[in-house]
């Protein structure tokens, strides 16, 4: 199982940012209202994620930490289907097989907290009592300490941290109601309280994407044929030299999709001409039955039942919003 976990880890755990992403997803799944991340040395030395979610009852702890015994692969034909289901139940086992992992948790309503540890292997079944408020803290130290080939592929501390920050940015943009904090080498990088009002949300976007983005953005909110598109798009007065600032969420899931990208680009071209790098934070809400978000668990792809309808709705909504404010 150790080797199997290390192989699985190659798919789930590409770099520190993938660890942070999986741990934060678990915290979100556990209904956390606040998530605190501490990172040291770009995550190579430490990634600690603390949440105030449901916690894990002691009796479920051993099972939760081990890779699910029933593999979803029965034959080769299943392979494609499996990749579309994600890596259910593999993240913690995979991460623990390539790091020193320590998980402390107290289930809601439980009187005691429990701690489980692993060092480059499966979780030990021996649990020790440990004080912890309701919720869970997972500490991942010395990532890839036992897979030197992979450790060698880590980039600079700054690069690895940037990837972590980028993931958190996406997660914090997708869950306004959750408070987030991010520290790097003991210095606060983001501190975001839950955002419930429009003003709070704009403040969070400004803090994650820069106040210049917010100052140069139009707020949009439109609905038609069961679709809703809301968020912020930047005007040409916002110019950005670095990486693109392009965030698109479908039913709160961050996605990268050609059809969506095309609709946005087209609207920018039509109205503003030559706007080659549109910047936006946009949320599309659709009937979950009309979209398949599980095309690939890590590539953030979606498949719309009626792609043309979605494309035209995005295009028309942005076209109208941009034409209204065209300088």
CA 154 to chain centroid, in Å, comes to: 20
Is residue 91 within the footprint of ligand ADP (CB under 6 A)?
A: yes
Is residue 54 within the footprint of ligand ADP (CB under 6 A)?
A: yes
User: Can you tell me which residue has the tokens 């987030």?
Assistant: 180
Segment interacting with ligand ADP (CB under 6 A) among 46-54, 149-157, 176-184, 221-229: 46-54
Segment interacting with Mg ion (CB under 5 A) among 90-98, 102-110, 221-229, 271-279: 90-98
Is residue 99 within the footprint of ligand ADP (CB under 6 A)?
A: no
Residues 236 to 295: which contact ligand ADP by CB under 6 A?
none
Among the listed residues 99, 187, 102, the one whose alpha carbon sits nearest the alpha carbon of residue 151: 99
Is residue 167 within the footprint of ligand ADP (CB under 6 A)?
A: no
* Chosen from ligand ADP, Mg ion, none, partner binding at 54 (C-beta under 5 to 8 Å by type): ligand ADP
Q: Which of 91, 195, 279, 302 binds Mg ion (CB under 5 A)?
A: 91
DSSP secondary structure of 29-41: HTT-SEEEEEEEG
User: Can you tell me which residue has the tokens 């999709």?
Assistant: 257
Our CA angle for 161, 164, 166, nearest 5°, is 110
Binding residues with ligand ADP: total (CB under 6 A): 17
Is residue 171 within the footprint of Mg ion (CB under 5 A)?
A: no
Among the listed residues 300, 22, 20, 34, the one whose alpha carbon sits nearest the alpha carbon of residue 175: 34
* Chosen from ligand ADP, Mg ion, none, partner binding at 57 (C-beta under 5 to 8 Å by type): none
Is residue 22 within the footprint of ligand ADP (CB under 6 A)?
A: yes
Which residues does residue 49 pair with via DSSP β-bridges, in sequence order?
37, 138
Q: Which of 8, 27, 118, 227 binds ligand ADP (CB under 6 A)?
A: 27
User: Which residue, 29 or 324, is less far from ligand ADP as judged by CB?
Assistant: 29
Residues 24 to 53: which contact Mg ion by CB under 5 A?
26
DSSP state of 276: -
Is residue 64 within the footprint of ligand ADP (CB under 6 A)?
A: yes
Among the listed residues 221, 183, 226, the one whose alpha carbon sits nearest the alpha carbon of residue 202: 221
In angstroms and rounded to an integer, the radius of gyration of the C-alpha atoms of the chain is 21
CB 17, CB 43: distance < 8 Å: yes
* Chosen from ligand ADP, Mg ion, none, partner binding at 53 (C-beta under 5 to 8 Å by type): ligand ADP
Cα–Cα distance for residue pair 114/56, rounded to 1 Å: 9
Our CA angle for 154, 160, 162, nearest 5°, is 160
Is residue 318 within the footprint of ligand ADP (CB under 6 A)?
A: no
Which residues does residue 181 pair with via DSSP β-bridges, in sequence order?
36, 191
Is residue 136 within the footprint of ligand ADP (CB under 6 A)?
A: yes
Footprint on this chain of ligand ADP (rule: CB under 6 A) = 22, 26-27, 30, 51, 53-56, 64, 88-93, 136
Footprint on this chain of Mg ion (rule: CB under 5 A) = 26, 91
């Amino acid at each position: 199982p150790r080797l199997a976990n290390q192989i699985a880890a190659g798919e789930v755990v590409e770099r520190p940012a993938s660890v942070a992403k999986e741990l934060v997803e678990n915290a979100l799944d556990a209904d956390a209202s606040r998530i605190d991340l501490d990172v040291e040395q770009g995550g190579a030395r430490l990634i600690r994620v603390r949440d105030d979610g449901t916690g894990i009852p002691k009796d479920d702890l051993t099972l939760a930490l081990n890779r699910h015994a029933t593999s979803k692969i029965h034959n080769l034909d299943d392979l494609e289907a499996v990749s579309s289901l994600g890596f259910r139940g593999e993240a913690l086992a995979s991460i623990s097989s390539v790091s020193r992992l320590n998980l402390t948790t107290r289930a809601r309503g439980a009187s005691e907290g429990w701690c489980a540890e692993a060092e480059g292997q499966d979780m030990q079944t021996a649990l020790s009592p440990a004080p912890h408020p309701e919720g869970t803290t997972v500490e991942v130290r010395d990532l890839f300490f036992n897979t030197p080939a992979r450790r060698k592929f880590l980039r600079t501390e700054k690069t690895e941290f940037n990837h972590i920050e980028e993931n958190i940015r996406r997660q914090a943009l997708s869950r306004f109601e959750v408070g987030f904090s991010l520290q790097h080498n003991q210095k606060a990088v983001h501190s975001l309280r839950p955002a419930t009002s429009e003003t709070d949300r704009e403040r969070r976007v400004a803090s994650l994407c820069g106040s210049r983005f917010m100052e140069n953005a139009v707020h949009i909110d439109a609905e038609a044929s069961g679709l809703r598109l809301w968020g912020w798009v930047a005007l040409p007065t916002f110019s950005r030299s670095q990486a693109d600032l392009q965030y698109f969420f479908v039913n709160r899931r961050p996605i990268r999709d050609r059809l969506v990208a095309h609709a946005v680009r087209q609207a920018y071209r039509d109205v503003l001409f030559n706007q080659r790098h549109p910047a936006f934070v946009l949320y599309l809400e659709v009937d979950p039955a009309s979209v398949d978000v599980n095309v690939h668990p890590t590539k953030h792809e979606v498949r719309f039942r009626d792609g043309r309808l979605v494309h035209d709705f995005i295009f028309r909504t942005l076209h109208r919003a941009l034409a209204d404010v065209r300088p």
